[in-house]
Structure 1
């Protein structure tokens, strides 16, 4: 069984990665039971889970779920040369259960889910005297299981529930959405109750992050799960807002500067730097191939895996999202490719869009002229305070308090326009329906390329409509359909997991 095989491999990999922390007899190996019997052994293994979670965010794999939206798409050369990957934008026959790009994303998450489940079981049965330490570890393990299950359920729907106390009962079969989201919510409540308000090691989450993710779960949960609840979402986002721990930076561009890493706006960001293996290679994938052809040390060179759609990079007057004076535009998207006085040309055989606008948020000027842009390693945001404000505003609107909701959006927009909202740019007097329509564009302006767009389109029922109209490759193929709101269960999972058969595949695949 694929999930079972991967989780067994995780045990081996995580135990191996933690040998520096463990005192072992050189002629013996710790059994799983011995490993989990002591908090000293569980703690480095929890760290291993978070390292794995971070590493999922790296390089090409960390951008896969952003393909195929109305915000981002693959560059033309990528589409020309990698048909399986291209299927994620074309929504054609290559977006199937045989798609290896998606299978890799499925596979990469289950080991950490499994190990978190093992740790939760062990911690709930641990009898060591240090209750405070045990509680924090339980909060950390619960958070990682919840966060990864939430992501998997958002993209694939019903998924296995890994609970060591119920393995014989549940096995590795897909479970009903109601049960999946019950586990996610319960895990996050355990995390919220046990996590501290600060952590010296920024790899680990804090209480407020669990609160924010709880808000996200109640806001994003499919209607079919029975878990979507705007009142609950509002309450959890409200706890973050009233905590007084977070605030918007005055300058939007500073949010993505290494000089302002882990700022007052950041609830959590994945920690990277310019040194292997802690670099993330995101710029390698998002920059311009034409620049890379000139100089491998050009900090905004790359390979066009992920580029903005025309809708994402255009002004409103040209059918896009950007309003005059919005400083987020130039902080998020590169329009000028002049490097050291040279504007590159597009060589024959390239895709032709290498000098169209590109993602700017992950450019790492620290490597310029010193290291290949493969060494890019700025932190990658997970949840920011502006996202909490916008989500809270959505909840208020859905609960009938549209005028109050406008005030929270205007907080975000005021920063976007440099600290003062120009006349006519404030949100005021909107109907509930108008607010719903406009908030998706506002979220794109504020959160472009940060990984939330596909989920936003799925939860609002806009994926097919918006992608078909705004994603170049999806529009060209014309084959996107409602069943594409879910990804296919990988064929290798069906072949190796005795609890998931062909009949359990998502409809349409």
Structure 2
């Protein structure tokens, strides 16, 4: 027996030196980098894989809305999941809270990795049509910029990764916010050259020149680069895009009935045909989870709600016909919805607290009485109404306030609201007064559309305690807001611990 054990020990000790390859076999069902990036079809699969990241929980399937809508003064959470609720009210105890932080970081960088693969390997693939290749590369640049834009909004100083890693253990240093914005600008400016004005029907939903100019304008505006933002937005008013976009029936921006319409500048395509699980796999759910998490109690999970001040703001001004602003009907669920417009809430009369409200945009109450994880309603990331209000803001900041009115009025006119100068003559050409009114106009038109957090940051409303106190009058959660700290999220602690070049954000 002892002799047998001795023989076994010798075999074990010798095995690593003579049969290491047995433990390092490639999966025959998985293509290597060297085997895959060979054909036009490979390039198409590569770029399509980037779009697949929109359906991951950390991005536009679920958790991004908690960061952009509920953390702003438009929304909040009374979720029984205490840690989830805390992450919408600036009580960040566990920096590694997966659903609130780590998953969004992870999925953002997975999307960037897929963009980087396309940008590295597709240039070496021969195409019969060079334009097709240019458009694939342009899509990858747009999508990389898109994900870096939102990462900059959330964490600010982050690593900029522009190559797929040769060694998985390679770590990247953090970059200052201005460098992240510069990279977003570079990618978008390069993408816009090759992106088409429009795609054919088979490719609707991919970014266009208008999509890139819209994101570029947002990027410049967050940095107060007003003249550059105006140049980007000129595309929609004096450039090639002036006849491509217009306003449509307001409610059709949030339903599955008229998607990719003339008001759409960029929207994420969702489908309820694949009701698979939450995974990064061929069976992945391509629907949006947002309606399930934002629906009223008893209909969905109700982890996210709207602040009631929005309802009150809608009712402050009547239409030229003396009616309630019709946008309220399609923006929010609130106690008097049935009395005001005759609409029930998913077929129910009001049964919730008298001061509660929920986001109605992207809900499916117009044809069903409940929600699930598989909403087919596309997410309109940028629509033309936003472009109009952005242009008004830029013109105002450039001292062209008198010219800015017309763009606000186009948005107001659709809802039968009187011209801004008629209703609020005291504003005149005062830049500060115009900006304050524009803040309200953006809330009325765009509430619940994931733009408010960027707005608050851009306006400087979170930069001083005095200004935060004003926001807290609308949203008591901002009483927890610490100036200089909560303007950004903590970087996931596991990333800080694993990366010697990465420092935690200030005050965390």
RMSD, matched Cα = 2.9
Q: CA deviation at 1:114?
A: 1.2
Larger-gyration structure (1/2): 2
Is the alpha carbon distance of 1:339 and 1:433 closer, same or farther for their aligned partners in structure 2, counting shifts above 3 Å?
closer
User: What stretches of structure 1 of length at least 5 have no aligned partner?
Assistant: 1-24, 222-227, 293-300, 347-351
Query: Which segment is superposed worse, 39-48 or 174-183?
Result: 174-183
Hey, what does 1:109 align to over in structure 2?
Answer: 108
Contact map agreement 1:212 1:240 (CA 8 A) in 2: no
The C-alpha deviation readout for 1:274-319, integer Å capped at 9, x for no partner, is: 4323321322111110xx2xxxxxxxx2222221112222137789
SS in 2 for 1:268: strand
What secondary structure is seen at the aligned counterpart in 2 of 1:412? Answer: helix
1:206 to 198, 208, 212: 208
Tell me which of 305, 308, 316 is aligned to 1:310: 308
Q: 1:494 to 1:209 in 2, by over 3 A?
A: same
Q: Which residue of 1 aligns with 2:191?
A: 191
Q: Tell me the residue number matched to 2:217.
A: 215
Q: Secondary structure at the match of 1:315?
A: helix
C-alpha spacing 1:107/1:368, structure 2 compared with 1 (3 Å): same
Alignment correspondent of 2:229? 233
Change over 3 Å in CA distance of 1:375–1:146 after alignment to 2: closer
Q: Deviations along 1:427-474, whole A, 9 cap, x unmatched?
A: 762401111212111111111111111011111111334542221333
Q: Evaluate the alpha carbon distance shift between residue 123 and residue 325 of structure 1 in structure 2; reply closer, same or farther with a 3 A threshold.
A: same
2:291 to 257, 279, 283: 283
Which digits, 9 at most, give the CA deviation of each residue in 1:53-103, with x for residues without a partner? Answer: 2442123454433222111111x2x0xx22222222332353x52333112
Shift of 1:359: 0.9
Q: Within 5 A, what are the aligned runs for 1:344-383? A: 345=351, 356-365=356-365, 368=368, 372-383=371-382
Q: Say if 1:72 and 1:306, in contact at 8 Å, map to a contact too.
A: yes
Match of 1:485 in 2: 487
8 Å Cα contact 2:55-2:287 kept in structure 1: no
What is the rounded CA distance, in whole Å, between the counterparts of 1:153 and 1:60 in structure 2?
A: 16
Report if aligned partners of 1:70, 1:312 keep a CA contact under 8 Å in 2: no
Higher relative contact order (CA 8 A, sep 6+): 1
> If the length of structure 2 is used for normalisation, what is the TM-score?
0.80
User: Where does residue 58 of structure 1 map in the other structure?
Assistant: 61
CA contact (8 A) 1:309 1:472 kept: no
Report the CA distance shift for 1:288/1:162 in structure 2 as closer, same or farther (over 3 A).
same
Whole-angstrom CA distance in 2 between matches of 1:426 and 1:434: 10
Distance 2:84 2:471 in 1: 17
SS in 2 for 1:484: coil
In 2, Cα distance between equivalents of 1:54 and 1:465: 37
Partner of 1:71: 74
Preserved CA contact (<8 Å) 2:315 2:325: no
Q: Alignment length, in residue pairs? A: 447
What corresponds to 1:456 in structure 2? Answer: 455
Q: 397-406 or 52-61, which moves further after superposition?
A: 52-61
> Could you say which residue in structure 1 is the equivalent of 2:173?
173
Q: Give the TM-score of the pair, scaled to structure 1.
A: 0.80
- 1:342–1:41 CA distance, 2 compared to 1 (3 A): closer
The match for 2:17 is: none
State the distance in 2 between where 1:340 and 1:62 align: 22
Matched position secondary structure for 1:493: helix
